[in-house]
Structure formats: structure tokens, C-alpha cells
Amino acid sequence: MSRQKTSSQPGLALHGADELSSVRVQSYNLEIRSEDGFLGDKANRAAFFEILEELRRELRKQDADPIEIPTDDLSRKKIDALLTRGDLREASLIHSAIETFAQRLASVTRRFLRIKSWSDASRIVVGGGFRQSRVGELAIGRAGILLQAEGRAIELVPIRNDPDEAGLIGCAHLAPSWIFEAFDSILAVDIGGTNIRAGVVQLNQKNASDLSKAKVWKYELWKHAEEDPLRDEAIDRLCGMLEDLIGLAKKKRKLAPFIGIGCPGVILEDGSIDRGAQNLPGNWHSSRFNLAAAIRERIPAIGDHDTMIVIHNDAVVQGLSETPFMQDVAQWGALTIGTGLGNASFRNRTKQA
């Protein structure tokens, strides 16, 4: 189960806090076991490719595989092309993989809905890299249909923002209220098992005080999985990305002395990571490593102010990007399909009519 944090002051920025300005984080990073491993492994990105390869393996026994490219060489774009522009058999094969994956995703969702912190959720947003493809969108939509056809009052919908940007935009909801009074932008970081993104999020509070108009002004992407760096090398590269962004924003934005970070794992109050970051480069769980301290040492100040850093779980942060659009429900959840299957559940602090 997740480790949850408490704060007696709603809106006070703490690492891994469960009380935020607009929502209470009910749970996150739940590690649910099934008979043959962790439940999340049944509905992550690798699971889809395993399903597709298993179908192709059976077809190859009859010399009937319609796809020439090896499964390991199929990118999201190539799979989408087979779905939308392939011949009948190519498209049918992709649809078959989508259907099997959707059934798994529906099964995983049912298990989450049996948990107390998820049981009252009426909507689940699905993010992560898999959602960026048409294949991912269809799998999410089909899983939602399967659940509703059982009579469940639950919506399963793709996350509104591009997942590349949702993990950055959500960081704005980690910032303390004083940030919004004097600044128009923040620095945000989305750390994943494959990529690390750093960006400047433009808050646009004059257009919408609820951050529904927040958008990414600039961002940098590093595909660290292709380079297999050491942990300290990854931190050094990340800080370099942040320094570049600070330089770009210096004359064009009122940049707050704040860095919001979404990171896999259970985030402790001191900014260290308890568990769940096994897909990151190196050992991020070490008692001698503190993510917030490592970044603050390199970037002690932004402008004339000391740097403030707030870290939360990456699925929580992606989910937070949806907060302004969830005011018609009381409780909701977020799943992120990528290297792993991230999860978080929320209850709104106030429910608008």
C-alpha cells in the first residue's frame, strides 16, 4: 500500500503531502499483487507488446502473420499506422491486441475499485505514454465500455492534456498559494522510467484562477533510457536542463523560485524516495540520496530568492493536471500507463455545483 502524508494546513507545500489546496490524495503507488506478480504488470506498455507478440507467434505457426516488422521494432507511430492505414489483416491484428489489453485494463480497474480509497471513484483519467497513441485511446475507451456494460457507474477517459505536458502542468498544483501572487510561471520536472522532462509552466491565472488554462511554455526532453546513465549523471543532466530553462525564462517570464517534481515511488516528507523508483537510473532509494537536496545544492536560488522544491509521485502529479475539470465529481482516480502502471486516487476538497 502507499505511504500517505498528512498536513494540518491545507495548501502547505510538503513533499508527498496528502492534503493539497484543491484535493486530498487518498492513495498512490498502490502495489497490488496477483497470483502471478504485480497487478500493474498486466496493463503497462510492455504488456500490450507482449499481447501483440503472442498473437503474432501463433499466426507465424501458420505462416499467417501479416506484419513484416518485428514487434520489438514497432513504435507507437508504426502501430497506429497499421491500425489506421494497414490492410484488413494488419488492422485486425492490432484490434485483437487492443481488445485483449482492454480486457486486462478493465480487470485491473475492477481490482482498484475494490480498494477503500478507490471504491467511491466515479471517473478515472488515464495518462502515461501509452495514452498518446490512437491504439492507447481505443484501449482506454474499450475498457471503459466493458466496465459500464457491467452496470458500473464509472467513466474511464484519456487524460485531457498531452501526457508529455500533463506531468509538468500538474506541478502547478503543488505550489503554495503565495507563488501565484507575484509570479506567472514555475519550473516543473517529470521523471519517468524512460524519459525525463523539465519545463516552464505558464500559469495563466488571469485567464483562469483554477489553473485550467495553465500550459507548458518551454520544455526539454531527455530519453535517458537510451543512454543508461548513473544516478548522479542523471541528476547532473536534469539540473543542466533546469539551468537552461531558467536562462530562457529570465527576460520573458516572471519565474517563481519554485520547482515542482513528479517522480515514481513513495515520496517521503523529507524529499527522499522510499520505494517504487526501480526503473530509474541507479539507486534512488539509497538512504544517502535525497532528490530535493541534490537539486537544491546545484540550484540554490532562482532570481533573488532561495529555491523551493516540492516532490510528489508522478501519477499524482499527472492526475493533478485534471483537477480543474473534476469539480463535477466528489472522488476520482488516475492511472498512468507507461514503463509501469502508476496509480493515484483523489477526493475533491470542495465540490462545485
Which residues, listed in sequence order, are joined to residue 301 by a DSSP beta bridge?
306
CB 55 within 8 A of CB 94: no
CA–CA separation, 247 and 353 (whole Å): 43
Q: 3-class SS at 149?
A: helix
CA–CA separation, 198 and 216 (whole Å): 10
CA–CA separation, 345 and 26 (whole Å): 5
CA–CA separation, 87 and 89 (whole Å): 6
Where along the chain do its domains lie? 34-158, 162-318
Full pLDDT tens readout for the chain, 353 residues: 354 443 333 334 689 999 998 999 999 999 888 777 788 889 999 999 999 999 999 999 999 999 999 999 999 999 999 999 999 999 999 999 999 999 999 999 999 999 999 999 999 999 998 999 999 999 999 999 999 999 999 999 999 999 889 999 999 999 998 999 999 999 999 999 889 999 999 999 999 999 999 999 999 999 999 999 999 999 999 999 999 999 999 989 999 999 999 999 999 999 999 888 888 988 999 889 999 999 999 999 999 999 999 999 999 999 999 999 999 999 999 999 988 899 999 999 865 43
Which residue in 151, 117, 161, 123 sits closest to 351, CA to CA? Answer: 123
> Could you give the C-alpha distances from 280 to 287, 315, 341, 342, in angstroms and in order?
16, 15, 14, 14
Q: 3-class SS at 306?
A: strand
CB 137 within 8 A of CB 83: no
pLDDT in tens, 84-131: 999 999 999 999 999 999 999 999 999 999 999 999 999 999 999 899
pLDDT in tens, 301-318: 999 999 999 999 999 999
CATH number for the domain running over 162-318: 3.30.420.40
CB 216 within 8 A of CB 200: yes
Three cell numbers written together for 150: 457491467
